[in-house]
């Protein structure tokens, strides 16, 4: 049979130990919550940045597609320009011949 006074003392020490452990855990909790909040902020920033970069990438792909379409049209435009230039040259020669 255990002595009630000894048992009370043991329980008191156990309670004090648990209170001290709880105080230490609470002290550790504050900085950890701060780090979590900071990490969440950084994650939100990274997500916004990623979304912005995706949008910029999509715009760049659209601009590239437009530029490629213009580039594909260049030979046709050059041919049209050559034909018009030849036509103008012929017209000038005909005018020169008529005025002479």
| Structure confidence by residue, pLDDT tens digits, 45-93 | 999 999 999 999 999 999 999 999 999 999 999 999 999 999 999 999 9
pLDDT of residue 98: 85
Name the percent of the chain lying above pLDDT 90.
87
The 3 state secondary structure assigned to the chain is CCCHHHHHHHHHHHHHHHHHHHHHHHHHHHHHHHHHHHHHHHHHHHHHHHHHHHHHHHHHHHHHHHHHHHHHHHHHHHHHHHHHHHHHHHHHHHHHHHHC
Confidence band, pLDDT 50/70/90 cuts, at residue 32: very high
Confidence band, pLDDT 50/70/90 cuts, at residue 1: low
């Amino acid at each position: 049979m255990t002595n009630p006074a000894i048992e009370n003392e043991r329980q008191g020490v156990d309670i004090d130990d648990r209170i001290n452990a709880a105080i230490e855990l609470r002290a550790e909790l504050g900085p950890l919550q701060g780090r979590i909040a900071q990490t969440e902020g950084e994650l939100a920033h990274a997500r916004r940045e990623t979304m912005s970069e995706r949008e910029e990438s999509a715009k760049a792909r659209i601009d590239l597609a437009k530029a490629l379409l213009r580039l594909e049209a260049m030979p046709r435009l050059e041919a049209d320009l050559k034909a018009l230039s030849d036509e103008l040259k012929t017209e000038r020669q005909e005018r020169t011949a008529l005025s002479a």
